[in-house]
């Protein structure tokens, strides 16, 4: 039996209400519903992490990708898993008129996510790989907690302080959703709770900002092939330390209105010498696309979308700018002049950005071959 020690993120997705659901419903329909729900989330796991094992009502996975550290990626990943689960459950409910107990009680099923960071041993025995170690024990012990009783939140993401530290996100013990549990042989584990169902419902109501290729564009769509996955390409553009390098900025300030993570509404001030370019994130879909509003002088605004499309050898990054818009009388008179200037400057400037992104992807994947797309 061989054992290799690694450090990375550990994540569990646990379907709550599973045991009661199987016991109280028709097994044939119940198994079909559970299979559909797992089929919705497993592909999302496979995009970004390694599934260690299935445990009936749960999936246990891990990832050692250092690109995910010093970023909020794993929080976004957990939200993406829950969104896929909730969307599928809603779709099944809409498309069925079955009156069996399984279909009637499906609404009682929900998903809890657990995210931790630490060391673990990967043991191989008779061709099977198992994860072991104190941090592995910790995440499984955390599945037994008092979160529902103390917060009344049924579908949640539990993020340990260790995971927050790895993401370089501050842990605030005074936060109403900050808590801890103490376990024998492990000690106290501090964590933060996020309400996944409320976040899902809120996001469904939010207007999506997306510049389509058929919209009236300022310039023709620009694109380039990258040797990394859409997840890594998205991080190259949004992870603070990488964004600064790829945008060739002296400094990038992030204004987040009290939020711990970036997302819709986050404002960015990009400093290039004495010039400061102001931007606001208007849509945030990790691994898929990000949309940004640029605030130009005199009330002129510009929207653009960076899209990351999976390919056989990595992904294609596409940039699309919508036409300029006015917000007041002065900007309306200046639109023609601003449009002509941007149409002259943007093609070369953003072709340069894409080439720089391509070179950066090659560099980070050369330094760490695990970042190459599978």
Instruction: For residue 65, name the pLDDT band (cuts at 50, 70, 90).
Output: confident
Tens of pLDDT, residues 108-162: 889 999 999 999 998 877 667 789 999 999 999 999 999 999 999 999 999 999 9
Q: Are the beta carbons of 264 and 258 closer than 8 angstroms?
A: no
Tens of pLDDT, residues 194-204: 999 999 999 88
Q: Are the beta carbons of 130 and 140 closer than 8 angstroms?
A: no
Q: Are the beta carbons of 153 and 193 closer than 8 angstroms?
A: yes
16-53 b/e (C-beta count within 10 Å ≥ 16 → b): bbbeebbeebeeebbeebbeebbebbbebbeebbeebe
With vertex at residue 311, the alpha carbon angle to CA 309 and CA 317, rounded to the nearest 5 degrees, is 40
Q: What is the β-pairing status of strands 275-285 and 289-295?
A: antiparallel
Q: Are the beta carbons of 328 and 297 closer than 8 angstroms?
A: no
From the options 3.40.50.2300, 3.30.930.10, 3.30.530.20, 3.40.50.1000, give the CATH code of 208-371. 3.30.530.20
Domain ranges of the chain: 2-204, 208-371
For 2-204, CATH gives 3.30.70.1230
Using CA atoms, how far apart are residues 78 and 54, in angstroms rounded to an integer? 17
Q: Are the beta carbons of 246 and 237 closer than 8 angstroms?
A: yes
User: What average pLDDT does the chain have?
Assistant: 91
Using CA atoms, how far apart are residues 22 and 30, in angstroms rounded to an integer? 6
Least confident of 18-32, 55-69, 135-149, 155-169: 18-32
CA atoms within 13 A on the CB side of 27: 1
């Amino acid at each position: 039996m061989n054992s290799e020690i690694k450090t990375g993120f550990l994540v569990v997705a646990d379907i709550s209400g599973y045991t009661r659901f199987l016991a109280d419903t028709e097994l044939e329909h119940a198994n079909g519903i559970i299979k559909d729900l797992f089929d919705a989330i497993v592909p999302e796991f496979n995009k970004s992490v390694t599934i260690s094992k299935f445990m009936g009502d749960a999936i246990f996975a891990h990832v050692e990708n250092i690109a995910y550290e010093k970023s909020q990626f794993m929080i976004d990943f957990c939200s993406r898993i829950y969104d896929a689960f909730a969307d599928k459950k809603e779709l099944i409910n809409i498309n069925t008129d079955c009156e069996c107990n399984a279909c009637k009680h499906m609404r009682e099923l929900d998903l809890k996510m657990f995210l931790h960071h630490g060391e673990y041993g990967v043991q191989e025995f008779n061709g099977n790989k198992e994860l072991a170690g104190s941090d592995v024990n910790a995440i499984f012990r955390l599945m037994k907690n008092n979160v529902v009783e103390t917060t009344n939140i049924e579908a949640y993401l539990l993020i340990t302080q260790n995971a927050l530290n790895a993401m370089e996100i501050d842990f605030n013990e005074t936060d109403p959703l900050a808590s801890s549990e103490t376990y024998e042989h492990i000690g106290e584990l501090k964590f933060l709770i996020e309400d996944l169902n409320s976040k899902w419902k809120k996001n469904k109501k939010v207007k999506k900002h997306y510049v389509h290729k058929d919209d009236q564009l300022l310039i023709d769509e620009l694109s380039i092939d990258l040797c990394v996955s859409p997840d890594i390409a998205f991080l190259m553009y949004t992870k603070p330390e990488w964004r600064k390098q790829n945008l060739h900025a002296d400094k990038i300030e992030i204004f987040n209105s009290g939020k711990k993570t970036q997302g819709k509404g986050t404002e960015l001030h990009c400093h290039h010498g004495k010039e400061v370019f102001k931007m606001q994130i208007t849509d945030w879909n990790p691994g898929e696309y990000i949309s940004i509003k640029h605030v130009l002088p005199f009330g002129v605004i510009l929207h653009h979308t960076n899209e990351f499309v999976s390919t056989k050898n990595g992904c294609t990054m596409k940039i699309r700018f919508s036409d300029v818009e006015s917000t007041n009388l002065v900007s309306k008179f200046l639109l023609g002049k601003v449009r002509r200037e941007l149409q002259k400057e943007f093609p070369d400037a953003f072709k340069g950005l894409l080439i720089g992104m391509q070179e950066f992807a090659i560099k980070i994947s050369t330094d760490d071959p695990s970042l190459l797309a599978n």
